[in-house]
Amino acid sequence: MEKKFTTQDWLKIVGKEKLQTFQDCFTRVHCFSLGFFDLAGTPITVEASSSLFCYSMMQKQKKRCKKEQEQALASVRETGKAALFNCYSGLNFFMCPVYLNKQMVAFAYGGGVAYSTEDISGALREKYKIPVISEHKLMMIIALLEQIMGMYNIDAANTIKVLEASGENDSVGNIFDEKLSKREAEVAKLICLGLSNRKIADKLFISEKTVKTHVSNILGKLESADRMQLIVDYGHFISKNIGETHEY
């Protein structure tokens, strides 16, 4: 039975602090609000540059705002793609789905922008610092965000197949160019499957402290900055070698 991945599984792989840093940086560059939420609409990061105008409207029209957000999320869940929406106040927002192993696990929600100075009065723009951006530019930014989020969509099914085949041939270390010891390769394999240090320790019957030591050695030997880079690099290796050395 295929594992059902959750928002928390994704956060463990990405790292909540790193996701927050990415979100804040993305917002500073593009000058509009952005936040990440689970599929129930619960925030998983602190929204960056939250729109003062949207906050004000939410206080006055909470039910209406919530209904529009729910309808937008339902639309994105149905299509599986990022989309732009226009709210009743005249501003525009977007939602971008996040996937792990081809399963939607979260979404990015951002915007609160006007397409032109004619969409909203100058007084309101000044009072609430509402950003003005062309629809074309906003769509390009959303497309970039969708591509970045797509980098986290690791195909666990193919990963497991290759790892199992490698295990049968007793060549797990070769996946990592023989840079790792057999035990380090086993730990790296489990990291790439999204397991936490605690779960790796339980699976290999070793202490969590030993796992941490292995992780440090693995990242150093493979010149990976962190677990996420290891997973992304490994996923690239898998996609490149599927069909070349294994048949499925």
List phi, psi (to 5°) of 152.
-90, -5
Rounded to 10 deg, the angle between the 182-192 and 227-241 helix axes is: 90
Is pTM beyond 0.85? Reply is no
Give the chain's mean pLDDT.
81
Domain ranges of the chain: 7-150, 156-240
CB-side neighbour CA atoms (13 Å) of 58: 10
The answer to whether residue 161 scores a pLDDT higher than 60 is no
Q: Is 163 helix (H, G, I), strand (E, B) or coil?
A: helix
Q: Position of tokens 């000058």?
A: 31
Residue 50 pLDDT? 73
What's CA 83's distance to the chain center, in Å?
A: 17
Which own/partner pairs from 46-55 qualify as long-range (CB within 8 Å, at least 24 positions apart)?
Answer: 46/20, 48/23, 48/24, 51/91, 51/111, 51/112, 51/128, 51/130, 52/128, 52/129, 53/89, 53/91, 53/112, 53/124, 53/128, 53/130, 54/89, 54/91, 54/93, 54/112
pLDDT tens readout for residues 212-223:
999 999 899 888
Higher pLDDT, 120 or 248: 120
What's the average model confidence in pLDDT over 137-148?
A: 92
For residue range 46-69, list pLDDT tens digits in order. 988 777 777 777 778 888 888 888
Residue 238's pLDDT band (boundaries 50, 70, 90)?
A: very low
Q: Which residue has the higher pLDDT, 14 or 39?
A: 39
Q: Tell me if domain 7-150 and domain 156-240 are identical in fold.
A: no
Q: How many CB atoms lie within 10 A of CB 111?
A: 24
Mean pLDDT (whole number) for 39-44: 91
* pLDDT of 159: 56
Q: How many whole angstroms separate alpha carbon 192 and alpha carbon 197?
A: 12
Q: How confident is the model at residue 12 (pLDDT cuts 50, 70, 90)?
A: confident
| pLDDT value for 2 | 61
Largest CA distance in the chain: 70
108 has which bridge partners?
Answer: 36, 96
Q: What is the pLDDT of residue 162?
A: 54
Question: How do residues 165-204 score in pLDDT, each as one tens digit?
Answer: 555 444 444 566 578 888 888 888 888 777 889 999 998 9
- Please give the Cα distance from 71 to 194 (Å, whole number): 32
pLDDT at 174: 55
Q: What percent of the chain has pLDDT over 70?
A: 82
Query: For 78-131, what is each residue's pLDDT tens digit?
Result: 999 999 998 888 889 999 999 988 889 999 999 888 887 666 777 877 787 888
CATH class of segment(s) 156-240: mainly alpha
pLDDT for 43: 93
- pLDDT at residue number 242: 40
- Taking the domain 7-150, which CATH number applies? 3.30.450
Residue 26: pLDDT over 80: yes
